Amino acid sequence: MAFKSPVVSPLNENQERLLAQLGSLKNILTLPTRKSLNLALDKQISSFDYILRIAESTVGKAFIDILLKKFIDTVFDPNNDKLERIILVSFAKSLNKKGNKISNDPNVSNEQWLINNALPALHLIFQEVKVLIVKQIITMIFGPKKEMNYGTLTQPYPVSTTLNNDEILNQVLAAESMFSLSTSDGNEYGDMEYNLVQLKQQLEAGVVQFTISCQDVKIKLPENFNQEIDGMLNNIISTLPGVSGQPTTGLIQNPTIAFDYISNHVANETQRINTQENANASKKSWLQILLSKLFNLLMISITPFLLDLLNKINTENPTLNLTIIGIVSSPLELKNLEKSDPQSFDEKSEFMKSFLNAMYALLLSILLAALIKEIKKLIKNALAKRASIRLQSKLKRLQKAREGLDATQKSIDKAVKAAEALKQFNDIFNYNQIG
């Protein structure tokens, strides 16, 4: 999965049929499917793009924004441990790949041991780490380079050797092509190196160009960004357990409020060179850009905070003598290994691939769960509409029949009245019969 950009491709037969049928639910139409396309699995549309196509044709683009934000909120929510569990499961798979076993108990798997023994402590520290990650990811997206350093934890916690700003920038550039949620635009490799050179210059200067809703927009963080974000995030940190000296009561605020702040800034900047309509559309498109950046940059941010996890494992089984670089390989290292040493790449990329696959699965599960719910509503409404149409048609037929009966009755009534009126002329009509 790493460093592989999917190609643009048409839908296969089943995807074409499902997309057409789902789209027809809005107006109770049945659209014909196209001729069967026998496509290789590696040339089919990505699952993410396919689900987005289904969502757009059924519940609309605005609904997609809500779901993407829900995923981002879920990942960074300090009130759940989903991110921590993904990290531990990825750790377990990497250890399994190497044939390493943490527990001496043969009945206890690596995943079981990590969930039971490492999850509580990891979750506690990641309540603050998630706050730091959010801020760093924003600076890794927009620059400038001088602001890309890691934040400082208020709680005592072992952290591995951190990278300097130049090293972080190199990791960001390497991660740019690490993972793709969507199919490429058709030029898979042609401009990649040129684009990376341009991106490096933009990140160093802190003015980054994005293509938002087919519009090239240069974005620079606001001058008061650090003050605004620090104020938001420090308010969250002050409520964390062990920081203020008092236990937290209730829910901890989600640090993704910083992403909301940035999304509004991007929309405002886009609006300056575009119409209000497109500005609103660009905000939706920006969420997809942000999502892709999160997938590629998240690993860079979490790696320094996994040292305590390794220490716990090594304490349990000193023979393993694990190190960060032995389990979690950086995007830059993997990029170099992919071409120079495919076998080593396969082994060292296990943690990365497991992590990204788990994140991807979480994303798709959120999209599908909500989409299925909404599609069920559409189907219910479609069936109700069809039943209503049938009932209305029946009522119209009955009404016509009634109108016919009423007309007949009126004719009979008129005939009776006419007969009564003509009775007085009977003698005249029958005069020749008199006598």
Q: pLDDT tens digit string along 114-125?
A: 999 999 999 988
Q: Is the pLDDT of residue 5 over 50?
A: no
Amino acid 34: pLDDT: 43
Q: Is residue 399 part of a domain?
A: no
Amino acid 345: pLDDT: 86
Query: What pLDDT band is residue 318 in, cutting at 50, 70 and 90?
Result: very high
Q: Is the pLDDT of residue 207 over 90?
A: no
Token pair listed for 77: 């929510």
Print burial letters for 197-224: b (CB count within 10 Å at least 16), e (below 16). Answer: eebbebbeebebebebbeeebebbbeee
Q: Regarding predicted confidence, which is higher, 293 or 187?
A: 293
Contacts 24+ apart (CB under 8 A), 228-231: 228/261, 229/135, 229/138, 229/258, 229/261, 230/135
Q: Residue 256: which of 233, 280, 238, 283 has the closest Cα?
A: 233
Of 105-109, 276-280, 317-321, which range is least confident?
276-280
Distance of alpha carbon 283 from alpha carbon 278, whole angstroms: 9
211-228: pLDDT as tens digits: 776 677 888 888 888 888
Q: Is the pLDDT of residue 362 over 80?
A: yes
Q: What is the mean pLDDT of the chain?
A: 77
Distance of alpha carbon 158 from alpha carbon 335, whole angstroms: 28
Q: Is residue 333 part of a domain?
A: yes
Cβ atoms of 202 and 208 within 8 Å: the answer is yes
Q: Is residue 390 part of a domain?
A: no
Q: Regarding predicted confidence, which is higher, 198 or 158?
A: 198
Give 409: exposed, middle or buried? Use CB within 10 Å, 0-12, 13-18, 19+.
exposed
Distance of alpha carbon 326 from alpha carbon 329, whole angstroms: 7
Q: Residue 7: which of 187, 168, 133, 171 has the closest Cα?
A: 187
> Which residues on neighbouring strands pair with residue 208, listed in sequence order?
219
> Which residues on neighbouring strands pair with residue 216, listed in sequence order?
211
Cβ atoms of 87 and 306 within 8 Å: the answer is yes
Host H or E run for residue 333: helix 331-340
26-36: pLDDT as tens digits: 443 333 444 44
Strands (E), 224-336: none
Distance of alpha carbon 137 from alpha carbon 296, whole angstroms: 10
Radius of gyration over every alpha carbon of the chain, rounded to an integer in angstroms:
33
Query: What pLDDT band is residue 85 in, cutting at 50, 70 and 90?
Result: very high
DSSP state of 217: E
Q: Is residue 403 part of a domain?
A: no
Average pLDDT over residues 63-67: 85
Q: Phi/psi at 317 (nearest 5 deg)?
A: -140, 85
Cβ-based neighbours of 305, under 8 Å, separated by 6 or more: 125, 126, 129, 157, 159, 160
- Residue 370 CA, chain-centre distance (Å), reads 11
Q: Is residue 430 part of a domain?
A: no
Cβ atoms of 99 and 60 within 8 Å: the answer is no
Cβ atoms of 132 and 151 within 8 Å: the answer is yes
Tracing tokens 């527990």 back to the chain, one arrives at 103
Domain count, the chain: 1
Q: Regarding predicted confidence, which is higher, 364 or 378?
A: 364
> Which residues on neighbouring strands pair with residue 212, listed in sequence order?
215
Q: Rounded to the nearest 10 degrees, what angle do helices 82-98 and 307-316 cross at?
A: 50
Query: What pLDDT band is residue 418 in, cutting at 50, 70 and 90?
Result: low
Q: Is the pLDDT of residue 398 over 90?
A: no
Cβ atoms of 76 and 255 within 8 Å: the answer is yes
Q: Is the pLDDT of residue 81 over 90?
A: yes
Q: Is the pLDDT of residue 416 over 50?
A: yes
Q: Is residue 416 part of a domain?
A: no
Cβ atoms of 97 and 111 within 8 Å: the answer is no
Token pair listed for 362: 């979480």
For the chain, what's the residue count?
435
Distance of alpha carbon 157 from alpha carbon 154, whole angstroms: 9
Query: What pLDDT band is residue 415 in, cutting at 50, 70 and 90?
Result: low
Q: What is the pTM of this model?
A: 0.75
Amino acid 14: pLDDT: 63
Tracing tokens 């750790």 back to the chain, one arrives at 91
DSSP state of 338: H
> Strand, coil or helix: what is 390?
helix
Mean pLDDT highest for which of 40-44, 72-76, 202-206? 72-76
Distance of alpha carbon 265 from alpha carbon 335, whole angstroms: 33
Amino acid 116: pLDDT: 94
Q: Is residue 435 part of a domain?
A: no
Q: Is residue 410 part of a domain?
A: no
Query: Under the phi-then-psi rule, with left for phi > 0, alpha for psi from -120 to 50, and beta for the rest, what region is 80?
Result: beta
Tracing tokens 């990505």 back to the chain, one arrives at 46
Q: Regarding predicted confidence, which is higher, 418 or 309?
A: 309
DSSP state of 14: H
Residue 240: give the domain boundaries.
13-381
Tracing tokens 């060292």 back to the chain, one arrives at 348
